[in-house]
């Protein structure tokens, strides 16, 4: 019986010591608004970081096609030479600096986050945006607990 309780107690203790998922989501949003690619990348789950690394590796195999795709995604010209030199954080920076993303971001003070649910090592955070029409738009984000820290589990791209 003690063996079964120990992993649960360790997981529970780790969740108490780690930052609140809502605080982590708010910090992630703040990093996006600061165009802080290093922080954004570091706050992604290991799975998301690996996916981004794989995407970058594939882009470097076909830099011309990747440059065209990145240019469409971001709304800013990207050359095949630039693709060949990208790191994970510089790739995140290209996305964050793109006019497409910037034009879609509401003012930061219009976004608020709250806990939707938490089960074990997964949390769902609800983010609400107050629209100019007076309505509220809601989006849920999944976070995962990894090595005692909440990380963004939602795919970044």
Q: Mind listing the pLDDT tens digit for each residue in 50-75?
A: 999 999 999 999 999 999 999 998 89
Mapped onto helix, strand or coil, the DSSP state of residue 23 is: helix
Q: With a cut of 50, say whether residue 10 has pLDDT above it.
A: no
Closest CA to 113 of 123, 135, 128: 128
pLDDT grade for 91, boundaries at 50, 70 and 90: very high
In order of their start, the domains of the chain are: 20-152 (3.10.450.50)
pLDDT tens sequence across 92-133: 999 898 888 888 889 999 999 999 999 999 999 999 998 888
Characterize 137-148 residue by residue with b for buried, 16 or more Cβ atoms within 10 angstroms of its Cβ, and e for exposed. Answer: eeeebbbbbbee
Question: What is the predicted pLDDT for the residue at 154?
Answer: 79
Closest CA to 38 of 28, 51, 48: 28
Is the full-model pTM beyond 0.85? no
pLDDT tens sequence across 131-156: 888 899 999 999 999 999 999 997 76
Task: Tell me the backbone φ, ψ of residue 33, rounded to 5 degrees.
Answer: -70, -25
Question: Residue 72 gets which letter from DSSP?
Answer: H
Question: What is the predicted pLDDT for the residue at 131?
Answer: 87
Q: Which two three-digit tokens encode residue 50?
A: 């690996």
């Amino acid at each position: 019986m003690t063996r079964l309780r120990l992993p649960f107690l360790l997981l529970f203790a780790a969740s108490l010591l780690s930052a609140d998922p809502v605080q982590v989501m708010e910090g992630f949003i703040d990093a996006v608004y600061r165009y802080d690619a290093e922080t954004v990348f570091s706050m992604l789950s290991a799975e998301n970081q690996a996916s981004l690394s794989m995407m970058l590796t594939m882009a470097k195999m076909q830099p011309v096609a990747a440059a065209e795709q990145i240019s469409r995604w971001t709304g800013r010209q990207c050359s095949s030479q630039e693709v060949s030199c990208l790191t994970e954080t510089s790739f995140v920076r290209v996305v964050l600096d793109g006019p497409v993303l910037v034009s879609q971001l509401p003012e930061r003070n219009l976004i608020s986050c709250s806990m939707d649910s938490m089960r074990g090592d997964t949390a769902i955070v609800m983010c609400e945006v107050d629209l100019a029409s007076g309505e509220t738009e809601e989006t849920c984000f999944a976070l995962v607990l990894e090595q005692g820290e909440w990380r963004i589990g939602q795919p970044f791209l």
